[in-house]
Chains A and B, each alone.
Chain A
Amino acid sequence: ETGVTQTPRHLVMGMTNKKSLKCEQHLGHNAMYWYKQSAKKPLELMFVYSLEERVENNSVPSRFSPECPNSSHLFLHLHTLQPEDSALYLCASYQTGTGGGYTFGSGTRLTVV
């Protein structure tokens, strides 16, 4: 375990379903991120939360909705997804200005059918 825990590890959902991905960090970091990793593209930044406020939305479709209720938890709510949204969704945390890079979770492997 890296200190960043993601659940579930695997998720299969239909295009009309609503599901949520959860991320929890135990490192006391002040920034959290959602990344998408697919077979067709390198790591794509989706959302950035700093001190629980969303500071970046990297042109992500509205069918992805993030939520950061506190500095330790981050959610990604999913609804009416498309098959091309199938990917590995990675959560990361970071303490700004300290170096050491991001700490990533193990990801949620999402398959949209």
Chain B
Amino acid sequence: GESVGLHLPTLSVQEGDNSIINCAYSNSASDYFIWYKQESGKGPQFIIDIRSNMDKRQGQRVTVLLNKTVKHLSLQIAATQPGDSAVYFCAEGDYGGSQGNLIFGKGTKLSVKP
């Protein structure tokens, strides 16, 4: 039979606009959340993290928002640039876990139009 690839949600934005990438996580006991960026041909790269005692955290041009009530995580990228084009993954886990195992989402592909 025909093989089917993993169809990632895609977000297309204009250069200079703000991007918002969303993620629904599964485990209400998770207390640690991370966003990763994966460019073509590379491994995932850490962007920003947040612990469950916070609902917002800001980095350089990025902001992560956490809504524990609805188990929702979002990544906001300000003034999106062509270099931001990549697949973005959210991950959830247990901050104090002995192995630190993370559960990864399927990813969202961000495409930035010049």
Contacts and interface: CB of A to CB of B under 8 A. Distances in A.
Interface of A: 2, 4, 6, 31, 38-43, 45, 48, 50, 55-56, 90, 92, 94, 96-97, 99-107
B61 interface: no
A45 B3 contact: no
A97 to B, nearest CB: 6
A41 B105 CA distance: 10
Contact of B43 (A38, A97, A107): A107
Task: Give the dominant DSSP class at B's interface.
Answer: loop
A56 B100 CA distance: 12
Which of B34, B36, B43, B49 has the most CB atoms of chain A within a 10 A radius of its CB? B43
A interface majority secondary structure: loop
B98 A100 contact: no
B42 A42 contact: no
Find the residue from A43, A103, A106 having the highest chain B CB count within 10 A: A43
A40 B6 CA distance: 5
3 closest cross-chain pairs (CB), A and B: A104-B43, A43-B104, A101-B34
B43 A105 contact: yes
A100 B98 CA distance: 15
17 contacts: A2-B43, A31-B99, A31-B100, A38-B6, A40-B6, A42-B106, A43-B44, A45-B101, A50-B99, A94-B100, A96-B100, A97-B95, A102-B44, A102-B46, A104-B43, A106-B41, A106-B43
A97 B98 CA distance: 7
A40 B51 CA distance: 30
A55 B89 CA distance: 25
Interface in B28-54: 32, 34, 36, 41-46, 49, 51
Contact of A101 (B5, B6, B49, B99): B49
A17 to B, nearest CB: 23
Interface in B3-32: 3-6, 32
* Most interface-central of B45, B49, B95, B100 (chain A CB within 10 A): B100
Nearest to A103: B46
A103 B89 CA distance: 14
